Amino acid sequence: MDAGKEIVRFEEMGLAYEDAPETLSDVTMTLREGEFRFLTGPSGAGKTSLLKMIYLAHRPTRGRFFLFEENATEAPREALPALRRRIGVVFQEFRLLDHLTAYENVALPMKVAGVNQNQYREDVSELLNWVGLGDRMDAKPPTLSGGEKQRVALARALVSKPDLILADEPTGNVDPAMGERIMKLFVELNKLGAAVIVATHDLHLVQSIGKPVLRIGEGRVTRSAGAGGAA
């Protein structure tokens, strides 16, 4: 079987914040179209930093980084928005805009992409209904609970049907049943072709889903394990 297109490729990549020691060192990995990876490791190991690199919040300080087969290390600033629009991110801290409603937050990626509201209105409301917030579309984030915010953030990440989904502790603030639904949704989207990386501490969830695991420790990818975490 032909290997799918490369979605993410790091070659000897390193990341340092200003003059501090490297947060990530010598990371070499490839994620292909339709692949699913869990990213696990202790707090401070560099999971979030790795995700930030992928969603283009930081540039690597050394090595090379390819995103959708484009050299993102040297990509000009003007090329970044188009790459970012192909990524859906569920941020650990949600990063919702407090002055916008839940509906407007979810619609944000479509609006910045210049899509007419008539074209995304149904998708946005369907997603909000699916995550159980159909009756809270006009609520603003400060009035939502942690779990509700997380579900809005999830809907925002998925609304543009991205080629790559990144989720940083996406089940951290929801009940186990909702956590399981979210993970199953990721699996379904993955089956439809989206590549998925989920950073999580929840090893039970990792084992129950049974997808390959990338372990990270002290800024290095220490082990790439098979499905369910088996090395």
Partner 1 sequence: MTQAEERDTEEETAALKAPRRGIFGRQTAPLLPEAGAAGAPLTAVIAVMSFLAVLAMASLLMVNRAASEWTSALRSEITVQVKGASAEEIESGVEAVLRVLRDTEGVLEANEKSREETAELLEPWLGDGNAQAFLNIPAIIEVKAAPSLRDNLDLLRNRIAAAAPTASLDDHARWHDRLSGAARSGQAMAFGVFLLVMGAACAISIFAARAGLAANHEIVSVLHLVGATDEFIAAEVQRRFFILGLRGALLGLFAALAALVVAGLAMRAGGGTDNFLPSLRLGGWMILWLAAAPVATCLVTAVTARLTVLKTLSQQY
CB of 218 to partner 1, least distance (A): 25
Contact 32, 25 (CB under 8 A): no
Q: Which is nearer to partner 1, 129 or 143 (CB)?
A: 129
* Shortest distance in whole angstroms from residue 84 CB to partner 1: 4
Q: Six-digit token pair at 195?
A: 């590549």
Least Å distance between CB 53 and partner 1? 11
How far from chain centre, in Å, is Cα 124? 19
Q: Which of 219, 228, 229, 231 is nearest to 10 (CA)?
A: 219
| The length of the chain, given as a count of residues | 231
Question: Which of residues 106 and 213 has its CB atom nearest to partner 1 in the complex?
Answer: 106
Instruction: Compare residues 110 and 221 and give the one whose CB is closer to partner 1.
Output: 110
Give residue 228's identity as a one-letter amino acid code: G
Least distance between partner 1 and beta carbon 80 (Å): 8
Strands 87-90 and 195-199: unpaired
Query: At closest approach, how far in Å is the CB of 83 from partner 1?
Result: 8
Distance CA 11, CA 57 (A): 18
Q: What are phi and psi of 74, to 5 degrees?
A: -110, 10
109 or 219: CB nearest partner 1: 109
Nearest to 39 by CA among 175, 181, 222: 222
Dist. CA 165–CA 124, nearest whole Å: 17
Site residues (vs partner 1, CB under 8 A): 55-59, 77-78, 80-82, 84-85, 89, 95, 97, 99-101, 103-104, 107-109, 111-114, 117, 121-122, 124-126, 129-130, 132, 134-135, 137-138, 156, 160, 181
Give whichever of 3 and 57 is closer to partner 1, judged by the CB atom.
57
